[in-house]
């Protein structure tokens, strides 16, 4: 599976480098949905909600009404997860709130899973320098994604694994890291961060790992037609 990404900030579709620097502003969400029409599911992240700077609820609702989406950004309560599903999200992505100071936030994850079912939950494992990072990638934890997956499996149906070291930089990703993750869990894995060539997408697919693509398709580095041909 290939998931084109729509990241929202200030009512616009944007792409950031390393989660901080705005690299480009794209067409309207409606225009992007038309461009992504060949793909069965879209990934939507409300960056403002993720950063605690407001939210783009109207846009999220409009996108979810027109396409099958996995939606994340600021999902810190079971009520928020339920609200996104009610808005039309096929699945919700849980990031920072999945973790507590010394490990996983099992009570919250259990509450979210009960509210929307584990089948509708994807947990984000954003990693830099080998360790999971949270709070907008500003805080590094002491644990690795490989160590956490088995504890997180009961609460979700898959993992969104972002290789933050190269996110948005168009320098390639770490295929070996995704191989290790693939060996650590039978759950669905989606790779993100630095994927910048059709060869990398094919390599991920060969190991049964999905790809979430942002900068590579917004800059034209990877053709949407070439990606659609892989579906």
Report the 10 Å Cβ neighbour count for 122: 24
- Considering all CA atoms of the chain, what is the largest pairwise distance in Å, rounded to the nearest integer? 44
Torsions phi, psi of 92, nearest 5?
Answer: -115, 145
Residue with tokens 């309207």, as numbered in its chain: 28
Catalytic residue flag (residue 7): yes
* E runs forming strands in the chain: 2-9, 12-17, 21-25, 42-46, 69-72, 91-94, 99-100, 103-104, 121-128, 131-134, 139-140, 158-163, 188-192, 210-213
CA distance 231 to 221: 18
Looking up tokens 């396409």 gives 67
Find the catalytic residue in 7, 46, 48, 129.
7
Candidate list 46, 119, 126, 165, residue with the active-site label: 126
Catalytic residues: 7, 126
């Amino acid at each position: 599976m290939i998931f084109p990404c729509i990241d929202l900030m200030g009512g616009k579709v944007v792409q950031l480098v390393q989660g901080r620097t705005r690299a480009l502003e794209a067409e309207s969400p409606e225009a992007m949905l038309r461009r992504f029409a060949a793909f069965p599911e879209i990934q939507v992240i409300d960056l403002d909600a993720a950063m605690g700077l407001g939210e783009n609820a109207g846009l999220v609702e409009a996108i979810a009404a027109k396409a099958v989406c996995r939606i994340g950004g600021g999902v810190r309560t079971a009520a928020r997860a339920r609200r996104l599903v009610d808005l039309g999200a096929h699945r919700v992505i849980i990031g920072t709130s999945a973790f507590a100071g010394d490990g996983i936030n099992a009570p919250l994850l259990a509450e979210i899973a009960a509210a929307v079912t584990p089948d509708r939950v994807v947990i984000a494992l954003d990693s830099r320098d080998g360790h999971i990072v949270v709070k907008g990638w500003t805080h590094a934890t002491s644990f690795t994604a490989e160590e956490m997956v088995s504890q997180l499996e009961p609460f979700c149906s898959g993992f969104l694994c972002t290789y933050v070291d190269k996110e948005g930089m168009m320098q390639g990703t770490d295929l070996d890291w995704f191989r290790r993750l693939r060996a650590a869990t039978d759950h669905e894995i989606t790779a993100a961060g630095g994927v910048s060539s059709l060869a990398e997408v094919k390599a991920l697919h060969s190991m049964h790992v999905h790809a979430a693509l942002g900068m590579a398709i917004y800059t034209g580095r990877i053709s949407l037609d070439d990606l659609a041909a892989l579906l």
